[in-house]
Amino acid sequence: MRIGICTTDFSTLPAQELFARIANMGFACVQFSFASVSEADFEARPALEIPPRIEASTVSLVERAVKKSGLPIAAVNGTFNTAHPDAEVRAEGVRRFALLADAVRELGCPVISLCTGTRSRSSLWQGHPDNLTPEAWADALDTVKRLCAIAEARGLTLAVETEASNVVCTPERARRMLDEAASPALKMILDPANLFLPGTAKPENAAGSLEAAFSAFGRDIVIAHGKDIRAGDGIDFCGTGLGIVDFDLMLRLLAGYGFRGDWLLHGIYDEKDMPRALAFARDALARSPLG
């Protein structure tokens, strides 16, 4: 198992500098966002976190940065608000996603990450009371099916995750999305910090949250994240190893379910804390059946 990091944990930098910095820290791969490189000239928007266009020159710059740094791309961010209440926003997301998928294939990356969306117009990571309505589910599912068709045509895998603020907010709803989308292209990201709903981030729930997730979609996991969460009544994410997530259990369960993917740290954002987080992950991996 390779231990990597999400490029969104860093400030936007030129591609060569970004990949060199991450490689020099000792990470073995990345989950990449085009918004992370200054050459893309793109800043993520509240509903659309993928660019309206991706120039061939930008893809070439990223390819050169990958080769020079020796740091492969394990996944690329393809997140936009798939459940946005405005159908035109969803349609624009699908249009951009098709362009992104072509660029991802050029980069030789097999996986694109997705967001299952929210009825919030402010941010695709902000909750809304209408997220649990049949209408929100229908819109999210329809969009995901369109994305699956794009991915299938290009031989790519799509990966979604549970997120308290999104339509897919529990392992059970993740299982339902997988079943109703009925596409071989759709798989899961296991983000252990995202398994907690407001009011449930308690140490006594750490093991049960993981066990429920693996029971629901353990065989469909293609990426594991390393985000952590502090104990409390709200949602307070933190760097790997600083919260209540039981990473030892997570790694044992991944091994038991035959996981062969990468472990991508996320939610650190402070470069000074990244060496500590990487050391923590390496120690946990060494103790595990995957080490």
Domain spans in the chain, listed from the N-terminal domain onward:
3-287
| CA 83/CA 136 separation, integer angstroms | 6
Give the whole-angstrom CA distance, residue 189 versus residue 220.
8
Confidence check: pLDDT of 264 > 90: yes
pLDDT cut 90: percent of the chain above it: 97
The confidence score (pLDDT) of residue 220 equals 98
> What is the 8-class DSSP label of residue 180?
H
In this prediction, residues 260-287 reach a mean pLDDT of 97
Q: What is the pTM of this model?
A: 0.95
What CA–CA distance (Å, rounded) separates 197 from 195?
7
pLDDT surpasses 90 at 61: yes
What pLDDT is attached to residue 43?
84
- 148-160 pLDDT, tens digit per residue, is 999 999 999 999 9
pLDDT of residue 106: 94
Q: Are 285 and 279 in contact (CB under 8 A)?
A: no
What's the pLDDT tens digit per position in 34-59?
A: 999 999 988 888 899 999 999 999 99
Measured distance between the N- and C-terminal CA atoms of the chain, rounded to whole angstroms: 7
User: What is the H or E stretch that residue 167 is in?
Assistant: none
Mean pLDDT of 197-212: 97
**In the predicted structure, residue 27 carries a pLDDT above the cut 90:** yes
Distance CA 264, CA 250 (A): 13
User: What angle (nearest 5°) sits at the alpha carbon of residue 54, between those of residues 51 and 58?
Assistant: 120
Closest CA to 64 of 16, 100, 13: 16
DSSP per-residue letters across 43-97: ---SSB-S-S---HHHHHHHHHHHHHHT--EEEEE--B-TT-S-HHHHHHHHHHH
Residue type, 40: A
- What residue type is assigned to position 98 of the chain? A
Largest Cα–Cα distance of the chain, in whole Å? 50
Instruction: Tell me the mean pLDDT in the region 176-198.
Output: 98
Name the fold adopted by 3-287: TIM Barrel (3.20.20)
- Per-residue pLDDT band for 121 (boundaries 50, 70, 90) equals very high
The pLDDT confidence band at residue 68, using thresholds 50, 70 and 90, is very high
